[in-house]
Amino acid sequence: MNLHEQFIRTINAAASGYDAMLMPTTPETAPTIVEASKDDETYARLNLRMLRNPAIVNLFDGCALSVPCHEPGTAPVGLMIAGTQNTDRKILEVGLAVEPVVSRRG
């Protein structure tokens, strides 16, 4: 618990001068159902990989949202906008500002 609390304090301090942290929501596009259903080991490996970036935000007790930023008709891709503890309102404001810039719809 002490190490976790220290990690959260370190992230909060490092991010204090920024409005948000930006990263891909997932490191790659989602696998197909056939790929993910191959066997339990494959499912677990793919699941861990796809949840890697959101899990980091959970680890420092932050908040995040994902804004779609892919071309219409292509596999979905999201830009994750993340913040530290209790910055939900700020992250939503950043998301509202970023969405029209990265949105590829119409």
Looking at the DSSP bridge assignments, the partners of residue 24 are 79
Q: 60: which residues sit within 8 A by CB, 6+ positions away?
A: 7, 8, 11, 12, 84, 85
Please give the structure tokens belonging to residue 92: 């939503």
Residue at 94: amino acid letter: V
Q: How confident is the model at residue 13 (pLDDT cuts 50, 70, 90)?
A: very high
Give residue-wise pLDDT tens across range 16-61: 999 999 999 998 888 889 999 999 999 999 999 999 999 999 999 9
User: Residue 98, exposed/middle/buried by CB under 10 A (0-12, 13-18, 19+)?
Assistant: middle
pTM for this model (two decimals): 0.84
Question: What is the tally of structural domains in the chain?
Answer: 1
- Residue 73 has what pLDDT? 84
* Domain range for 22: 2-102
